[in-house]
Amino acid sequence: MTASIIDGKAFAEKVRAGVAADVSALKAKHGVTPGLAVVIVGEDPASQVYVKNKVKQTADTGMNSFHFELPADTSEADLLARVEALNADPAVNGILVQLPLPKQIDEAKVIAAIDPAKDVDGFHVVNSGLLATGGRGLVPCTPLGCLLMLQDALGDLSGLKAVVVGRSNIVGKPMAQLLLDANCTVTIAHSRTKDLPGEVKAADIVVAAVGRPEMIKGDWIKPGATVIDVGINRIAAPEKGEGKTRLVGDVAYDEAATVAGRITPVPGGVGPMTIACLLRNTVTATCRQHRLDPKAI
């Protein structure tokens, strides 16, 4: 079997086109322009690329894009003051603080300071609590992107067995919750799971979010399963020349693609959907702040 490729780049383009149409309707019918503020602290090169893409795509969909670049030695108090100012600014409907933050800053404190109604990352405990209890909050972008790709590829997910490998607060746990809400039978596996290959082998849907390069092997995958690879790992690529690197996921792609029914590539799978869902969440947050139904703009 050769798996068909789930093209996250093409799907993200469709999501962004939908966002742009909603933004245009919000402006024309309601005089509302959504605004997203993105804050980056320090100069981590990967974070700078992600933030640049977020800022550009926000503007490209017709929203107001506010970009704050703070020095690496910014104090926690200064960052919290910036967040408070954005919470109070009516032109800002969504706030995102790029992670990771420098060591002197407590990420949990910063996330807790964001107004949950503007928390377009969906990381605030109010939003994770709402997700866990079936309420209407803002959902973390990476798991939301994975769910949209799964529903697009498979339709109704009811009754399917899903394994989520990884238990982080920002991917693994919310992903498991979304799959449960979609009526899957869900297992959360992790580094201490006794028979990880066996757990993966039982699943119709595998979501890999462990952060370990190519850890999930092809012979762990059930034939025909759908594999969503959240991992983005840069590894040495001596075959490309000295000092060169390449990106790989958490799944051994070449092996898995001979067994799976469908698979996301790295790059070009989950990553682009993360940013598209951030834009979607910003429209959702804006609508709710203006008491508009996002489904009927």
Ligand X SMILES: Nc1nc2c(c(=O)[nH]1)N[C@@H](CN(C=O)c1ccc(C(=O)N[C@@H](CCC(=O)O)C(=O)O)cc1)CN2
Active centre residues (catalytic): 54, 98, 121
Residue 275 structure tokens: 């940013």
Q: Looking at residues 37 to 76 of the shown chain, list those that interact with ligand X (rule: CB under 6 A).
A: 50
3-state secondary structure of 2: coil
Selected range binding ligand X among 55-63, 151-159, 261-269, 286-294, rule: CB under 6 A = 261-269
- Is residue 99 involved in binding ligand X (CB under 6 A)? yes
CB of 237 to ligand X, least distance (A): 13
Contact 202, 223 (CB under 8 A): no
Rounded Cα distance between 96 and 110, Å, is: 10
DSSP string, 134-194: T---PPPHHHHHHHHHHHHHHS--TT-EEEEE---TTTHHHHHHHHHHTT-EEEEE-TT-T
DSSP string, 206-218: EEE-S--TT-B-G
- Is residue 247 involved in binding ligand X (CB under 6 A)? yes
CB of 98 to Mg ion, least distance (A): 12
Count of residues making up the chain:
297
| Residue whose CB is less far from ligand X, 206 or 270 | 270
Q: Write down the residue that tokens 């926690």 correspond to.
A: 76
Q: Looking at residues 58 to 87 of the shown chain, list those that interact with Mg ion (rule: CB under 5 A).
A: none
- Is residue 141 involved in binding ligand X (CB under 6 A)? yes
> Which does residue 271 bind out of ligand X, Mg ion, none, counting CB within 5 to 8 angstroms by kind?
ligand X
Count of chain residues binding ligand X (CB under 6 A):
17
Contact pick of 165, 189, 263, 266 for ligand X (by CB under 6 A): 266
Task: Respond yes or no on whether the N-terminal peptide bond of residue 197 is cis (omega within 30° of 0).
Answer: no
- Is residue 121 involved in binding ligand X (CB under 6 A)? yes
Rounded Cα distance between 9 and 273, Å, is: 7
Q: Residue number with the shortest CB distance to Mg ion?
A: 101
Contact pick of 5, 267, 290, 292 for ligand X (by CB under 6 A): 267
- Please state the residue numbers annotated as binding site for NADP(+): 166-168, 232
Give me the residues that bind ligand X (CB under 6 A), please.
50, 96-99, 121, 141-142, 232, 247, 266-268, 271-272, 274-275
- Please state the residue numbers annotated as binding site: 166-168, 232
